[in-house]
Chains A and B, each alone.
Chain A
Amino acid sequence: AQSVTQLDSQVPVFEEAPVELRCNYSSSVSVYLFWYVQYPNQGLQLLLKYLSGSTLVKGINGFEAEFNKSQTSFHLRKPSVHISDTAEYFCAVSDPRTGGFKTIFGAGTRLFVKA
């Protein structure tokens, strides 16, 4: 069965500093990978996705993630964060063999950007 581990439950960082949110998954087959963001009192919004091709994926709001098959990781990065990036971030995985519809989410990482 697939699973997702987000290694940090909370990440505090100062504004304009770089940030990395870590995500590891377990799966014996190829996967689709996603990062979603949830701002306070809002629904989840897709930041970026990896389906195939280039292992470096660029998303919205200046975020990017790198798929590392050997380390089964999909870490999210941003070179310079803003106060407005404060939110909950979820890593997720789905199985292409099932049409990719059953998505397994990690427990989330709360990013707190300080002035």
Chain B
Amino acid sequence: DTGVSQNPRHKITKRGQNVTFRCDPISEHNRLYWYRQTLGQGPEFLTYFQNEAQLEKSRLLSDRFSAERPKGSFSTLEIQRTEQGDSAMYLCASGLDGYEQYFGPGTRLTVT
């Protein structure tokens, strides 16, 4: 069990650029979650995958955000035309058919 990994750990980008983050869940975990966390706040739910199917997507996730989980393994979160308000920590978590979630260390995005 190597834990959930996320890459990159930090990303600085200029406004208007596209960015993509990767999450590698714990192997055999069929559930995968994306959250966004801003300073002084708890994680905000963005989206959820069960295997390769995206079952839930928050209204927070505008059309500029897209997430995929091909073959039910790793997942990517892409933000197009980044805005300064997108600056946050993006967290990924995985789990089995239960309710415990194992979190990765996060990707910190700074949009300048």
Kindly count the residue-residue contacts between A and B in the assembled complex, taking CB atoms under 8 Å apart: 58
Query: A102 near B56 (CB under 8 angstroms)?
Result: yes
Question: Which residues on the A side are within 8 Å of B31 (C-beta)?
Answer: 101
Whether a CB of chain B sits under 8 angstroms from the CB of A104 is yes
| Contact (A46, B41) CB under 8 Å given A101-B31, A101-B33, A102-B48 | no
The range of chain A's interface size is 20 to 34
Which residues on the B side are within 8 Å of A98 (C-beta)?
56
Contact assessment for A49 and B100 in the assembled complex, using a CB-CB cutoff below 8 Å: yes
Which residues 24-69 of B have a CB within 8 angstroms of A? 31, 33, 35, 40-45, 48, 50, 55-56
User: Interface of B with A (CB < 8 Å)?
Assistant: 3-4, 31, 33, 35, 40-45, 48, 50, 55-56, 91, 93, 99-106
What is A's interface to B at a CB cutoff of 8 Å?
Answer: 4, 9, 32, 34, 36, 41-46, 49, 51, 90, 92, 94, 98, 100-108
